[in-house]
A and B are shown apart, each in its own frame.
Chain A
Amino acid sequence: MADNIFEVSDLRVDVADMTRKPLFGPAPRLEILKGISFTVPRGVVLGIVGGSGSGKTTLGRTMVRLAEPSGGRMLFDGHDIAHLSDAAMRPLRPRIQMIFQDPLSSLNPRLTVGRTVAAPLNARANDPRVGEALEHVGLPAEFAQRYPHELSGGQRQRVGIARAIAMRPEFILADEIVSGLDVSSQAQVLMLLEKLVAELGLTLAFISHDLSVIRRLCSRVIVLRSGEIVENAATADLFERPQHAYTRELLDAIPTPDPSIRW
């Protein structure tokens, strides 16, 4: 087992730029990720931050191979998964899981929570592992009979987390998983993630545009801007001594409670 669960080097992703497509001939390529290199050590919670359009979601989708990179290498536990076919990727899938941003659309509306959590395990909804996973995320086992639309936003996101951890993956990608939730649900989901990381020894990549969330959870942070890494540092260092102007800009954008204002 390699010490780094992910080793990404010179990762490039580009898409056809249809807005500038000539009448005849192929559209020019638009680079989303411009040669990104970083590693994810085992047991680390890595934050990936950046503004809107910085390529953080594309990076995440590429890491779980929902998208194929156009260049570079991406080693997962020593296997280069950058260009694996769907079929070749399938045996590795249980080891790499993802929690989605929108819990409503990422849960099948016509399947009960139990079936949703059980399906990736190839188990029935009454499998003990389903109840166990639900318990891990703080939901009662009876929730297995519910449909997603019967749950609150925070509960749905817990189901999304339960589905990901039920597989006992080595790596989980969490893509903006709290940005759709209200502040109190956010805090609960973050607390839950902290607990799970400690209990299960997860390696997590946590994508967010919110640095205060990152500070809470992550041990290392990558700052992305327009498809390039501008800073890659330990969380404490990043918040104490931001090296790049863009990082300082992001840090300044965090709203801080000001004790001098009374209302």
Chain B
Amino acid sequence: MLDGRGSIRRRSGARLWLSAVWLTLFVLAALLAPWISPHDPLAQDLMLGRLPPAWVAGAEPGYWLGTDSLGRDVLSRIIHGARIALVVALIAGTATCLLGSALGMVAGFYRGWADRLISRLVDIWMAFPPVLFAILLIAVLGTGLTSVILAIVIIDWTRFCRVVRAETLNQSKMDYVHSAKVAGFTRLRTLATEILPNVLPTIIALLTLEMGIAVIVEAILSFVNLSISTDQPTWGGMIAEGRTSIHQAWWVLVFPLVALFLTVLSFAQFGDGLRERFDPVLR
């Protein structure tokens, strides 16, 4: 049969594959960092400071993306930085998703006082400027990976909560929910087996988006030096260091930025691609 679906699927296929390839590279780099990075990411050598990338005149062989002002290899630091980014993306993204979606579904389905309480909480939460809130939280919790993850979860659950609540509210008005009641389902069973499958595509799209956002928030916190101690390479930390020498050594800033950009973009595209691929209604 001739219709528009064939071309749509091809496009989403390319998108899905490109983002999957980058994310696979990202995950492999993070997992295999000690073995594949060409240099020790922390080894300083002032004689090799500010070496340009391999294809620029004056480069030293073996330092593909150049070195920073302390002579540390940029490529190795990006590869090691992927570890922190991956941990933050997975743990913070998933935890945010679970907390926000659960509260959103409860608010949207049960309504009443639970909805009023959760919705007001979301309103109050969102009135805080998020970056300042994060900085404040880190100041209270202390720096470190756990605090970064905790800060992301505490700040960003509202993003899930609002969207999932709205979607649940929509779905709860459908006749299939009434039909579940007529069939004698308990409220909890209706929520878990009837509404959840319909809200899940939204949740998955949001989850991958949130993983990207978690990477960005970590980078922002690294940028203001509130994330991980400086002897552990992070993309945000590298961008912050590169900023001071942007005119002498642009590569220190640009390459981590590109890695960050591609990762965040891939997460979002991957989510949408997955949704289009596996949602029975869109398929």
Using A86-B187, A102-B175 as known contacts, say yes or no to A108 and B197 having CB atoms under 8 A apart: yes
Using A66-B181, A96-B182, A98-B182 as known contacts, say yes or no to A109 and B187 having CB atoms under 8 A apart: no
Fill in one digit per residue for A176-201: 1 if any B CB lies within 8 Å of its CB, else 0.
00000000000000000000000000
Please tell me which one of the listed residues A101, A105, A119, A147 contacts residue B183 in the complex, with CB atoms under 8 A apart: A119
Q: A94 an interface residue at 8 Å Cβ cutoff?
A: yes
Q: A238 an interface residue at 8 Å Cβ cutoff?
A: no
Shortest CB–CB separation between residue A4 and chain B, in angstroms? 21
B193 touches A119 (CB 8 A): yes
Fill in one digit per residue for B162-181: 1 if any A CB lies within 8 Å of its CB, else 0.
00000000000011101111
Q: How far, in whole Å, are A230 and B145 apart by their CA atoms in the complex? A: 74
Provide the residues of chain B in CB contact with A100, threshold 8 Å.
175, 178-179
Q: A149 an interface residue at 8 Å Cβ cutoff?
A: yes
B179 touches A106 (CB 8 A): yes
B184 touches A120 (CB 8 A): yes
Using A109-B281, A149-B281 as known contacts, say yes or no to A120 and B183 having CB atoms under 8 A apart: yes
Q: How many residues of B contact A (CB 8 A)?
A: 21
Cβ-closest chain B residue relative to A94:
B184
Q: A64 an interface residue at 8 Å Cβ cutoff?
A: yes
Q: A203 an interface residue at 8 Å Cβ cutoff?
A: no
Q: How far, in whole Å, are A149 and B197 apart by their CA atoms in the complex? A: 15
Please tell me which one of the listed residues B180, B198, B280 contacts residue A147 in the complex, with CB atoms under 8 A apart: B280
Q: A235 an interface residue at 8 Å Cβ cutoff?
A: no
Provide the residues of chain B in CB contact with A262, threshold 8 Å.
none
B184 touches A93 (CB 8 A): yes
Shortest CB–CB separation between residue B182 and chain A, in angstroms? 5
Cβ-closest chain A residue relative to B181:
A66
Q: How far, in whole Å, are A111 and B279 apart by their CA atoms in the complex? A: 11
Q: A107 an interface residue at 8 Å Cβ cutoff?
A: yes
Cβ-closest chain A residue relative to B176:
A108
Fill in one digit per residue for B272-283: 1 if any A CB lies within 8 Å of its CB, else 0.
000000011100
Fill in one digit per residue for A207-226: 1 if any B CB lies within 8 Å of its CB, else 0.
00000000000000000000
Which residues, 108 to 124 on A, are CB-close (under 8 Å) to B? 108-111, 119-120
Provide the residues of chain B in CB contact with A111, threshold 8 Å.
194, 197
Interface centre among B176, B178, B193 (most CB of A within 10 A): B176
Q: How far, in whole Å, are A91 and B180 apart by their CA atoms in the complex? A: 14
The residues of B with any CB-CB pair to A shorter than 8 Å are 174-176, 178-187, 193-194, 197-198, 200, 279-281
**Apart from A96-B182, A119-B185, A149-B281: 13 A-B pairs, beta carbons within 8 A:** A66-B178, A66-B181, A93-B183, A97-B182, A98-B182, A100-B178, A105-B174, A105-B175, A105-B176, A106-B179, A108-B194, A109-B176, A120-B183
The residues of A with any CB-CB pair to B shorter than 8 Å are 64, 66, 86, 90-91, 93-94, 96-98, 100-102, 105-111, 119-120, 147, 149, 163, 167
